[in-house]
Structure 1
Amino acid sequence: MKKDLLTVSLFALLCLLLWLAPTGFEHSRPEGSLLAKARVIASDDADLRQHGVVRTGTQTLTVELLDGAQRGQRARVTNALTGKLEFDEFYRPGERLLIEYRLRDGEIGLAYARGHYRLDHQLLLLGLFCGFLVLVAGWTGVKALLSFVFAALALWKVLIPLLLRGSDPVLVALAVVAGLTAAVSLLIGGLNRRGLTACLGALGGLLLAYALARIFATGFALHGVVRPFTENLLYAGFAGLDLTAIFLAGIILACSGAVMDLAMDIAAALDELRAKRPDLGARALFVSGMAVGRSVVGTMTTTLLLAYSGGYTTMLMVFMSQGLALSQVLNIHFVAAEVLNVIVGSFALVAVAPLTALAGALIYRRPAR
């Protein structure tokens, strides 16, 4: 237990340091720009134009600020509608939104709508999740939450800034995912043979995922622009980035969670088996690990398919409504990108079973001292 507390304390400290660490891109925000929660008092829709199901033009809002130094003040807010439903938001009196504004002679000057205010509901849902996880999993739930926070901070504070600075995307992704795999495996599994087994098995699967993605990306004729918001990066002055390498890094990142999950399942089973049957040798442990892996691999690969395709339900509906043949759908470049994602991730999952079973058999072949 003391070792467990030490590990948790260490990761809590790492999370704090990551939270405080600057990304180096804070200066990219316009100087003097402020954010605040506001409530819509009135809306002026005179400048809006209706085009079928979309609106274009400018909605002018009168809002009251609900927080910040200017709390209680009123301001006129501009809400520009571009005609793209996935980006545009429309506001009615009484609704709350996030605004960005600047001060001019101590008064609120230019102000713009930045979306319905959702942070309070997000925090509420997160709090409910944290409480439920701790209630169900106890101390392990606390460690799981800590690993979740650590992973989120590592992605935002380490991975993304390094990619924006032009570092090799694949090396950065492999390094960050390897660090996360080791951290999560050792935090959840413990500083013991179970954690080490899960870590080694997951890393082996991720290396295979990278190798396959690198080999087949060329044959699929894919480039990094298939991902959303890639063009925004180019227009924002990051034209020198290797977008194809970033695409490959995303594949590694996308399957890493499922890979870690499966590796920990097998490692935990071997640890429990070794505790109950200390007489088992390496061969028997490997066979048992493979049996556990076979039981889980089938559902996990389906999980990847459903997870990736769930975000594209409406796109698939559009394709079917247009009568596109399945061969035509699969040949579309951004669909092919998801096919590569699913198959490479599934390869990694399948490989994790024997790799983790082998690592566990070798690590557990002798009784712990």
Structure 2
Amino acid sequence: MGSVFKEKRKVYFFPLVIGILTLLIYFLPSPFDQDDDIYSRRVKAKIVKVDNCGIVETGIIKTGSQSLEVVVQGGEFKGDTLIASNQLIGRMEFDKIFNLGEKALVVLNLDEDMNKIVNVNVIDHYRLGVEFWLLLLFFAFLISFAGFVGVKAILSFAFTGIVIWKLLLPGFLLGYPPVPLSLALVALITSVIILLVAGVNKKGFVALSGSIVGVIVTAILSMVFGMLFNVHGAIKPFSETLLYSGYNHLDLTQIFLASIFISSSGAMMDIAMDIAVSQHEIKTIKPTISTKELIGSGFNIGRGVIGTMTTTLLLAYSGGFSALLMVFIAQGTPTVNILNLNYVAGEILHTMIGSFGLVLVAPITAVLGGVIYGRQ
């Protein structure tokens, strides 16, 4: 009975520690935390009347303003009917058009006594409800399929998101060296995810070792080839906006290079975990297997995994700039011109370095797994 209790305590102890750590990081004060404006309220509102007479259409471009009548659906002003204006600047990526019956997120600006609404600012369509239910559905499916492992996966999901939001991005804004900071936090995230899912054991140690080595090698490759490609970090959307917002001290190129191994670290974890788990199963079924045979099995497993994973990265990255390539194809731009454009070259660098890391992590994990599992 005592041994069963100890085993259960061992299973639940590490997830509990990570859960507490996640909460501590979440409530960690940040210099970028915005104090609540006591003279404004952010609420959901329903569009009950739309007037498009102020919209000027020039081809597919719309400018001018859309007059809206909204009913507040939350807070102390619930039920109030207000008039708002939706300004259009002629850029489809930023403009939004509201229709009758839709929900919107609005900001109510109050007077000094905070009992009267001075004006209403319509921010965007209200999506928080749909986002919440989608997240809840994802968690429900994950737990129903994976059980307690699914709970640990959710915990790792939350931990990763909070570390990125509360530590990584503020660290970039504060001017910390992007590559060392990213390496440290990716190592932390990788350790937590793998040890949560695989457990604090040989299997987890093999997967963790292969992942960390792969990330370090990918970081080195991104620095070397980033210099050779002569690509500036401002090619990423909204990067240049940061410089104009008072953060001209940021090294956008280093942040871009750090993003290469950050985005590929998850795929490296997958490969390292696949090989580590497979070698563990082989060792369990055949305890007498030699280190050399176990390494060979790891290599065979790795070949099958990386054969599809590298293509997965290409598909994942290409989806982000498919519209750009379509523009070039539609204009008849020569291929040599396309491949030499800085933002296209940046995506090629991103894809190839990430894929290179995947190819490297497989043999590294296979060798480490063979050595570690081979030890008595």
Q: How does the TM-score come out when normalised to structure 2?
A: 0.94
- Deviating beyond 4 angstroms after TM superposition, the runs of 4 or more aligned structure 1 residues are 28-31
Contact kept in structure 2, 1:75 and 1:108, CA below 8 Å:
no
1:65 is aligned with what amino acid?
Answer: V
How many equivalent pairs are there? Answer: 367
Q: Deviations over 1:144-167 (max 9, x none)?
A: 111111111111011011111111
Contact kept in structure 2, 1:197 and 1:359, CA below 8 Å:
yes
Q: Deviations over 1:275-331 (max 9, x none)?
A: 111112322221111111011001000000000001222222211111122222111
2:83 is aligned with what amino acid?
Answer: R
Matches of 1:246 and 1:76 in 2, distance apart?
A: 43
Aligned position for 2:129: 120
* Superposition deviation, residue 31 in structure 1: 6.6
2:22 is the counterpart of 1:15: yes
Matches of 2:247 and 2:20 in 1, distance apart?
A: 33
Q: Deviations over 1:319-359 (max 9, x none)?
A: 11111222221111111111000000001000001111122
Matches of 2:39 and 2:364 in 1, distance apart?
A: 53
Matches of 2:84 and 2:26 in 1, distance apart?
A: 32
2:331 is the counterpart of 1:319: no
Matches of 1:246 and 1:75 in 2, distance apart?
A: 44
Matches of 1:5 and 1:313 in 2, distance apart?
A: 44
Matches of 1:48 and 1:156 in 2, distance apart?
A: 38
* Superposition deviation, residue 17 in structure 1: 1.7
* Superposition deviation, residue 221 in structure 1: 1.5
Matches of 1:232 and 1:100 in 2, distance apart?
A: 24
Q: How does the TM-score come out when normalised to structure 1?
A: 0.96
Alignment of 1:129-278 (within 5 A): 129-278=138-287
2:64 is the counterpart of 1:57: yes
> How much is the aligned-residue C-alpha RMSD, in angstroms?
1.5
Name the SS of the counterpart of 1:69 in structure 2.
Answer: coil
2:95 is the counterpart of 1:88: yes
Aligned position for 2:120: 111
C-alpha distance 345-28 of structure 1, shift in aligned 2 (>3 A): farther
Which among 318, 326, 330 is matched to residue 309 of structure 1? 318
Which among 46, 53, 63 is matched to residue 53 of structure 2? 46
Matches of 1:13 and 1:140 in 2, distance apart?
A: 18
Aligned position for 1:366: 375
Name the SS of the counterpart of 1:75 in structure 2.
Answer: strand
Matches of 1:357 and 1:32 in 2, distance apart?
A: 60
* Superposition deviation, residue 128 in structure 1: 1.0
Matches of 1:114 and 1:120 in 2, distance apart?
A: 16
Q: Deviations over 1:163-200 (max 9, x none)?
A: 11111111111111010011111011101111111111
2:78 is the counterpart of 1:71: yes
Aligned position for 1:97: 104
% identical equivalent positions: 41
Matches of 2:333 and 2:85 in 1, distance apart?
A: 41
Matches of 1:302 and 1:247 in 2, distance apart?
A: 22
* Superposition deviation, residue 45 in structure 1: 2.5
- List runs of 5+ in structure 1 lacking aligned partners: none
Which among 342, 346, 354 is matched to residue 333 of structure 1? 342
1:176 is aligned with what amino acid?
Answer: L
Matches of 2:68 and 2:21 in 1, distance apart?
A: 43
* Superposition deviation, residue 30 in structure 1: 6.2
Which among 299, 313, 329 is matched to residue 308 of structure 2? 299
1:151 is aligned with what amino acid?
Answer: T
Name the SS of the counterpart of 1:77 in structure 2.
Answer: strand
* Superposition deviation, residue 363 in structure 1: 1.4
2:305 is aligned with what amino acid?
Answer: V
Matches of 1:78 and 1:26 in 2, distance apart?
A: 29
1:94 is aligned with what amino acid?
Answer: G
